[in-house]
Amino acid sequence: MGDDRRSFSYYKAIPVIEKLPFKIESGDQVKNLPAIGKSLRDHINEIVTTGKLSKLEHFENDEKVRAVSLFGEVWGVGPATALKLYDKGHRTLDDLQKDDSLTYAQRTGLKFFDDIRQRIPRHEVSEMEKLLQEVGKDILPGVTIVCGGSYRRGKSSCGDMDIVITHDDGKRYTSKHVKPGFLPKFVQRLKDINFLREDLIFSINSIEGTDSGVDTYFGLCTYPGRELRHRIDLKVYPRNRYASGLLAWTGNDVLNRRLRILAESKGYVLDDTGLYLATQSSGGKRAGRSEAIVNCHEEKDVFDTLGFPYLEPHERNL
């Protein structure tokens, strides 16, 4: 119960700290802020003074924390599953190999664990992005295919490839979806040339002629001529939802959290499928998102609507 309370305290404090317009150099700077208690101020002072947190080092040396953290790095294994695997007596990745409860996706993530952890050089991501664009345009002329994530933010290497896809259908701001048949054809063509190798998730939710649903493929790919596996995600958005999708999949996580918190404070709900008006519960509290989507054709429209200064992709490494 104590750990749960502490976790909740940190959860509440994170957005408060993220909104600060200055660099924290002392716990005294945040002593009057909501959700920042004495214990957290002491932690801040220790980090500022020593560059580390002794309590965290203690956790990192704990066998349970190490094992659960390791299992959580396997693709498809979340915190609850990682804890269950530990409770079964597993302590290493070799132990997991013998566990029959793992799904196909989890077993695939385990098999290529070392491959997936290797970062991809920027020039290789650039070449693979061009390959994807060529294959996509051969199937559907005019399709837009962009690699987001740390690559779009200008980093020298990437942990995986986040590919965001849409199509204008001859009209710059059409709300209609890319034809639902595109992603299956795209995936199959990429398999035919031995680029896509293993499937993890494949979900078709779009309805042709509407702005409904986002099509998703998660899998493993290889740079041409190699066997080293890399993680790749393909997300296909209707054109009127593409800006929010591209923004979310470009990141970084800190910026995404800031924008979503800001959206909530202004009566909106922001996620990768769009910027929506928030709904109100009977008590006056926001209950969720409505079906009313704000027209944001470009990423800048999202920033402008929220009153947040526009950041170019390379400026989003917050």
Domain ranges of the chain: 2-58, 64-111, 120-243, 252-315
307, burial (CB in 10 Å: exposed 0-12, middle 13-18, buried 19+): exposed
Scored b (16 or more CB within 10 A) or e, 104-123 reads ebbbbbbbbbeebeeebeee
The chain-wide mean pLDDT, for the chain, equals 87
pLDDT in the model for residue 99: 95
| Tens-place pLDDT, residues 137-152 | 999 999 999 999 999 9
| Tens-place pLDDT, residues 275-314 | 999 987 666 566 688 888 999 999 999 999 999 999 999 9
pLDDT in the model for residue 59: 64
| Tens-place pLDDT, residues 60-84 | 668 888 899 999 999 999 999 999 9
Topology match between the domains 2-58 and 252-315: no
Separation CA 155–CA 24 (nearest Å): 26
Is the pLDDT confidence value at 174 over 50? no
Q: What sign results for the dihedral spanned by CA atoms 276, 277, 281, 285?
A: positive
Architecture of the CATH domain 2-58 = Orthogonal Bundle (1.10)
What is the fold, at CATH topology level, of the domain defined by 64-111? DNA polymerase; domain 1 (1.10.150)
What is the fold, at CATH topology level, of the domain defined by 252-315? Beta Polymerase; domain 3 (3.30.210)
- Residue pair 139/208 in contact by the 8 Å Cβ criterion: no
Identify the band that residue 209 occupies on the pLDDT scale cut at 50, 70 and 90.
Answer: low
Which residues are tagged catalytic? 43
Is the pLDDT confidence value at 191 over 60? yes
Q: Closest Cα to residue 197, out of 172, 168, 230, 161?
A: 230
Identify the band that residue 170 occupies on the pLDDT scale cut at 50, 70 and 90.
Answer: very low
R_g of the chain, CA atoms, integer Å:
22
**From 141-155, 168-182, 197-211, the region with the lowest mean pLDDT:** 168-182
**Domain 120-243 top-level CATH class:** alpha beta
pLDDT in the model for residue 36: 81
Our CA angle for 251, 254, 259, nearest 5°, is 80
